Amino acid sequence: MKAPNLVIAGGGTGGHVFPALAAANAWMARHPGAKVLFIGGERGLENKLVPEAGFELIALPVAAWVGKRWGHRLKVLIDLPVALWRAYRAIRRVDPVAVLAVGGYAALAGGVAARVARVPLLVHEQNGRVGRTNRILGRLAARRMTGFPEAGWGVPTVMVGNPVRTALFQGDGPRDCLAVLGGSQGARSLNRGIPAALAWWKRQGGQIPPVLHQSGVSEADEVRGAYAQAGIEAQVLPFVADMGGFYGRAGLLVARSGAMTVAEIAATATPAVLVPLPWAADDHQSANAAALADLGGAKVAKEPLEAETLGRLLAELWGDETTRQHMAVQARTMARPDAAARIVNEIEQIAGIETQQGHS
């Protein structure tokens, strides 16, 4: 019997890479003698995170297509055969029992190469609305998995959830802060809109709670200045090293609604105000936010952010602990703490591997 090796294709952003790494670690925990190979892009976050996690990465010359100029598109077309050949060669070398595609530009090359190599393909869609790459690969896949109950695929899917980092569960703080999470690059509208909203709240005579604001590196000084000018106590962080501690202090969170952020909110039972990124591909962040809001686990604030409207919402939520506790309970209902194990179960089932874990 050959080793149960696995290839994971995709990446680009943390929303693709973190679930992929969680699945890889879960696979290795169940199959210690196996090898997991990643197929990613040359510019994505996987180039840093995958080697740091101890896995081999094959980086392909892939890039965005939609919304790009014709010169860029021509280069993508020229590079595509190279990417497909390198992905195919990597798959044949590793001889995996399956290929897991997690979205992103590299997933397309890896998924098509898996089909050519006659290796079973599974696809995991993290968002509440299926992306273009996964929609294409879904037609080739033996199994389509989703992070949300409804991804609009239009074909049979298995809801497994989105794996989150185990470090999230290590924070047990006082939940006494209004927290703002802008992501690794920050979010300009949050960096400007939240200080303005809190300044409005303060002008109405409100008692502003301590603010914990992750701003991104480039705008940290500007955000600190905005809070100082408004006379608001705020701890501004360029990035967050301890995500468990960050969520542990959040009595109310304001954040974008990427798939992993929503999964983290659910896993940590954090009441949240979600601000979808308006230009996200296929408007998937609005779908993500709606999924949690429909459960009663979050409120949604659309851009452009207006200081009085947002300030009033934050003041009402902070002053109503019963509502925030209800939101926390409802958010928890979306959590799938066994998401990585569920993904592994589906791969094993498609690959015909029987383990002592069984299949759910």
Q: How many CB atoms lie within 10 A of CB 319?
A: 11
Is 157 among the domain residues?
A: yes
121 plus 190 within the same structural domain: no
Is 106 among the domain residues?
A: yes
Is 48 among the domain residues?
A: yes
140 plus 174 within the same structural domain: no
129: closest CA among 291, 303, 267, 301?
Answer: 291
Is 304 among the domain residues?
A: yes
CATH at 23: 3.40.50.2000
14 plus 140 within the same structural domain: yes
Count of structural domains, the chain: 2
**Domain that residue 147 falls in:** 6-162+337-351
132 plus 185 within the same structural domain: no
136 plus 123 within the same structural domain: yes
122 plus 261 within the same structural domain: no
List the chain pLDDT tens, one digit each, 360 residues: 678 999 999 999 888 999 999 999 999 999 999 999 999 999 889 999 999 999 999 999 876 655 556 654 666 566 689 999 999 999 999 999 999 999 988 999 999 999 999 999 999 999 999 988 999 999 999 999 999 987 778 788 999 999 998 777 766 778 999 999 986 555 899 999 999 999 999 999 999 999 999 999 899 999 999 999 999 999 999 989 888 999 999 999 999 999 999 999 999 999 999 999 998 878 899 999 999 999 999 999 999 999 999 999 999 999 999 999 999 999 999 999 999 999 999 999 999 998 655 544
- Helix/strand/coil (H, E, C) string of the chain? CCCCCEEEECCCCHHHHHHHHHHHHHHHHHCCCCCEEEEEECCCCHHHHHHHCCCEEEEECCCCCCCCCHHHHHHHHHHHHHHHHHHHHHHHHHCCCEEEECCCHHHHHHHHHHHHCCCCEEEEECCCCCCHHHHHHHCCCCEEEECCCCCCCCCCCEECCCCCCHHHHHCCCCCCEEEEECCCCCCHHHHHHHHHHHHHHHHCCCCCCCEEEECCCCCHHHHHHHHHHHCCCEEEECCCCCHHHHHHCEEEEEECCCHHHHHHHHHHCCCEEECCCCCCHHHHHHHHHHHHHHCCCEEECCCCCCHHHHHHHHHHHHCCHHHHHHHHHHHHCCCCCCHHHHHHHHHHHHHCCCCCCCCC
- Say how far residue 138 (Cα) sits from the centre of its chain: 19
